Structures are given as C-alpha cells and as structure tokens.
Copies of this chain bind each other. A is one copy, B any other.
Amino acid sequence: MQNRQIVLAQRPVGMVDETTTSLVATERPVCGPDEALIKVGLLSIDPTIRTWMNDAPGYLPPIGIGDVIRAGGAGVVVESNTPRYAVGDVVIGMTGWQEWAVATDENKFSVVPKGLGLDLPTVMNVLGTTGLTAYFGLMDVGQFKAGDVVVVSGAGGATGSVVGQIAKAKGASKVVGIAGGPEKCAEVVEKYGFDECLDYREAHLVRRIHEACPKGVDVYFDNVGGEILDAVLANIAMYARIVVCGAISQYNAMEKPAGIANTPMLIMRRGRMQGFIVFDFASRYAEAQMALAAMVLDGTLAHREHLVQGLEHAPEALNLLFTGGNHGKTLVVVDESVQLA
C-alpha cells in the first residue's frame, strides 16, 4: 500500500541531476469525502516543470523542497466519494510525479470521454496541454490567418510539430521549422509536413531565415527564446506576431543569457510579442480539443510520443527536453495497465 513519489530534494543549478530529486515511499493516500483516488498511468513531461523547480517568481509558486514534483498526468479512478468521477474513469490533471494521486475540490481532473478512438498517449499529447498550447498560441495569441508565413522553433518537439501542422492545414503560405540537427530537421519536413526546416546548430541563421522567408515572417511561434528569437526578430514582416510560448534555451541557464538585441525591429515592423499560458484558455479547451481530435482522426495531424518507462526515470525524461534527445511528446509510463477502453 505504498505510494512511490519523486520529491524535490534541492533546487537545481543548470540541468536536473541526481541531487535534485529523491525517490521516496510514503503511504498510499486515503480517499476522503468528495474525493477520488487515482492510480497514475502516464506523466506529461513538459519544459515548464523545470521552471517550477526554481525559487523564482512564476505563473505558479515554486515547488517546495520536499514536495512532490508538480506535473500533469493521466490515471484511472479506483475509488470515488464524489459523483464527479466514476470508478474506471480515465482522468487527466495535475497528478505530480507519483503513483497515486487524489482528486479534490482544489485539484480537479477532467474525465477523458469514452469511445474517442484514440489511445491514451495520443490524448495526452494532442488533446492535452501540448496540443492546446499549440492551438491557442497560433490561433489566438498569434492571430494566424490564411496566407501567413509561419516560423516555429522547437519544430520537432511536441508543441512545435502541432503548431506547424495546424498552420499548414489552415492555409499558411509557408511553414518553416527550426530544430536541432539534420535528423530532427528531416523529421520535421517528412513526418510533420513543414515546407522547410532550418538547423539552428549551423551558422548564419539570420541569413537562412531570410532566404526561407524573403518577404518576412508573419507569425513566429517561439518555444526557445534567446539567440533563435533574436534571429527571427531580424526577419519579421510588417505587423508580425511573435507568440512567446517557451524559452527552453534559458530554463537551465547558469548565467544570465546573452539576451536579444533586435527588439527595435518591433518598432520598424510594428511587431507584437506576446506571452501566454495555456491555462488562460481553460474555458475554451473543448473547442480546440474537437478541432484537434478531428485532425488526428482524419490523418491530418501526425504525432509522435516518446515513452520513457518507469516513474524513477522522470528526471532523465525531463532532461531529454533540453538536450533534444526526445522525439515528439515525452511521457513517462508509471503504470502501463492504465489504458483507454
């Protein structure tokens, strides 16, 4: 009747390592009145988890020392004292890095509808925060319209790959990815159907973006920040929208990063740079999920999940996001028996 958990042992400097977290065993939680007990099946590994480990202002408070690592996940309801969840429901919410979670009034879960025809990793990827971030970031924050030239960094990653595919499906005149290494770039073009993909590890990125987008970039979906953001800023079109979704290049920074110098281009081109958090769009998730599910089911939206086996490997799985060692949406399998019917 144990609950294995990964807790924050000390705040990392740079990448997470073996001193950052501890695997501990506590008692399995008890399901109180109006609560439900959830057996965790899958964890969603997202770059933002790294930001919560810092003792710094964020959109959520830092994870406390000794606390379970905060994370999204999916599980199955095994006991319920509330009509909100039935035993056997597969639910998605903030499970944390542990084997057992409790749904409460403060920590609500969403029930995955039955009969979707999709498996749980796909749902966690495309219909979870990853796909929702791509959808609202491009359509709402980026004010995408048909004919736009779209550039996406982290294009081989979970969010970036979906952004490019939505843009193509909705009539972008060109979709250019930016990713690390020839293998990733090939996948971005061949699997996800981007028109082109630039390897940021090669020189002259500013010039190569210009060659790929000679009329300038209308929408830039930024998952990376830093030098890549600066290179795209040098190439924005009039009235460009820069969607500031992530800054993965900075989350492990041990020194103050070099910073971006091309912000005056926002004046020259009347550009807009706007940050967002997908939770802000919670009241409209269903709209996006229907659109995304339809794209998966009709084959328009290619997706890939990178499964890492075992709760104890969650810290290494997180590091994969920063080394580029993952392919597609990174998920940790805590209990493979948790499946959609």
What is the minimal beta-carbon distance from A205 to any residue of chain B, in angstroms?
14
Q: Which residues of B contact A269 (CB under 8 A)?
A: 59, 275
Say yes or no: is A321 at the interface (Cβ < 8 Å to chain B). Answer: no
* Interface core residue of A57, A263, A268, A272 (most chain B CB under 10 Å): A263
A63 at the interface (CB under 8 A from B): no
Q: Which residues of B contact A260 (CB under 8 A)?
A: 259-261, 263
B276 x A274 contact (CB < 8 A): no
Tell me the count of chain A residues lying within 8 A, CB to CB, of chain B: 33
Among A57, A230, A257, A275, chain B packs the most CB atoms within 10 A around the CB of A275
Contact with B along A246-280 (1 / 0, CB 8 A): 11001000001111110111111111111111001
Q: Known contacts being A245-B267, A267-B59, is A274 close to B277, with CB within 8 Å?
A: no
Chain A 49-65, CB within 8 Å of chain B: the 1/0 string?
00000000111000000
Collect the chain B residues with CB atoms within 8 Å of residue A277's CB. 267-268, 270
In-complex Cβ contact of A271 among B246, B247, B275 (8 A): B275
Give the docked Cα–Cα distance between A135 and B268 (Å). Answer: 19
A138 at the interface (CB under 8 A from B): no
In this assembly, does A229 line the interface, its C-beta being within 8 Å of a C-beta of chain B?
A: yes
Query: Do residues A263 and B273 form an inter-chain contact, with CB atoms below 8 A?
Result: yes
Contact A264 B230 (CB under 8 A): no
Task: Report B-chain residues with C-beta under 8 Å of the C-beta of A58.
Answer: 268
Q: Is residue A225 contacting chain B, with contact meaning CB distance below 8 A?
A: yes
The reply to whether B259 and A230 form a contact with Cβ atoms under 8 Å apart is yes
Q: Which residues of B contact A265 (CB under 8 A)?
A: 275
B274 in contact with A271 (CB, 8 Å): yes
On chain B, the residues within 8 Å of A229 by CB distance are 263
Bound Cα distance from A58 to B266, whole angstroms? 11
CB atoms of B59 and A268 under 8 A apart: yes
Which chain B residues lie closer than 8 Å to A293 at the CB level?
Answer: none
Q: How far is the CA of A271 from the CA of B242 in the complex (A)?
A: 12
Q: Contact: A264 with B276, CB < 8 Å?
A: no
Q: Which residue of B lies closest to A256 (CB)?
A: B261
Contact A247–B264 (Cβ < 8 Å): yes
Q: Kindly list chain B residues whose C-beta atoms are within 8 Å of the C-beta of A246.
A: 267
- Bound-state CA distance A273–B269 (Å) is 13
Q: Is A244 on the interface with B (CB-CB < 8 A)?
A: yes
Question: Known interface pairs A244-B263, A258-B259, A263-B229. Does A273 touch B270 (Cβ–Cβ under 8 Å)?
Answer: no
Q: List residues of chain B with CB within 8 A of the CB of A280.
A: 270
Give the CA-CA distance A229 to B262 in the complex, in Å: 13
The 10 closest A-B pairs by CB, nearest first: A259-B259, A266-B275, A267-B275, A259-B261, A247-B264, A273-B273, A272-B274, A244-B266, A259-B260, A59-B268
Give 14 new A-B contacts, CB below 8 A, not counting A225-B263, A258-B259.
A57-B268, A229-B263, A230-B259, A244-B266, A247-B263, A256-B261, A258-B261, A260-B263, A267-B276, A267-B277, A270-B276, A272-B274, A273-B273, A273-B274
